[in-house]
A = this chain, B = another copy of it.
Amino acid sequence: MSHPSGPEVRARRTNDARVPLSRVRIVLEALRVVDEEGLQALSMRRLGSELGVEAMSLYRYVSGREDLLEALVSHLTDGLRRTPQTPVSAADGWQAYIQWLAHEVRDVAHDHPQLFPLVATRHPAAPWLRPPLRSLEVVEDFLSVLTDQGFGDEAAAATYRTFTSFLVGHLLLEASQMGAPMVPDEPLDEGDDRPTSDVVLDDVPTIRRLEPFLSEDRSDEEFEVSLEELIDRIERQLR
């Protein structure tokens, strides 16, 4: 054995003075905890113990919990930009670019539903940009693709608004339905399913009758149809 064994029971993990702490190591571990157990499970103390370190050590690399969340969001949106920057040939037009970007962002929302609401947060450097996409580079790409394809400045800005309203709104909804409490207080698992309020399904006959239809998950179709619809709307406005 190459290392002396410590006491049988240990906290959670010990650093063993192996890999030194770093901002990226902290971000990656935090991302893992949030994706697996939700935002509310991410505490400085828990994250420290997960990294084999006391919570106070984290403050060397991150100025606080808020800064940590900021770093998580940047990590996600940086990933967006690392994918090919001209994913579609110019000949495909802005429609193809919008389709590509919409699905790219949707993938992020689906991979990290707990974190996605933070992407809808205003950017510190451009708080007037609404709705925010939390990555200025992505927004810059969007706007320059449009203006390169002949959009006027005002039309490009209007299209940005229309597109991001649609996209962020839709994804916020999808994220909230993917078990993301959207607020930290919801219990993740409430196996206990007895109705708590006094209104039960007996008082709502139509809901009851339509249950088979209502319970179908159609979010994929809804997204695709709405996106096509949106592109049509933008095309109409151009003329």
Cβ-defined partner of A173 (8 Å) among B137, B169, B190, B222: B169
Cβ-defined partner of A210 (8 Å) among B69, B121, B143, B197: B143
Shortest beta-carbon distance, A237 to chain B, in Å?
10
- The answer to whether A172 touches B162, judged by C-beta atoms less than 8 angstroms apart, is no
Name the CB-closest residue of B to A232.
B229
A233 and B222 CA atoms in complex are apart in Å by 12
Q: Is A153 an interface residue (CB 8 A)?
A: yes
- The answer to whether A139 touches B204, judged by C-beta atoms less than 8 angstroms apart, is yes
- Contact residues, A169-216 vs B (CB, 8 A): 169-170, 172-173, 176-177, 181-187, 190, 193, 195-197, 199-201, 203-207, 209-211, 213-216
- The answer to whether B153 touches A183, judged by C-beta atoms less than 8 angstroms apart, is no
Q: Is A98 an interface residue (CB 8 A)?
A: no
Given known contacts A184-B183, A185-B65, A207 and B124 CB-to-CB distance under 8 angstroms: no
Name the CB-closest residue of B to A169.
B169
A129 and B173 CA atoms in complex are apart in Å by 13
A111 and B144 CA atoms in complex are apart in Å by 37
Q: Is A74 an interface residue (CB 8 A)?
A: yes
Shortest beta-carbon distance, A178 to chain B, in Å?
11
A165 and B129 CA atoms in complex are apart in Å by 24
* Interface pairs A-B: 8 shortest CB-CB: A157-B213, A169-B169, A128-B215, A169-B173, A140-B204, A125-B195, A143-B206, A172-B172
Could you list some 27 contacts between A and B, CB below 8 A? A39-B183, A66-B186, A69-B185, A120-B177, A121-B176, A121-B181, A121-B186, A124-B197, A129-B215, A130-B214, A136-B199, A136-B204, A137-B204, A139-B204, A139-B207, A140-B204, A140-B205, A153-B210, A154-B213, A156-B206, A157-B214, A158-B213, A165-B219, A168-B173, A172-B173, A183-B183, A183-B184
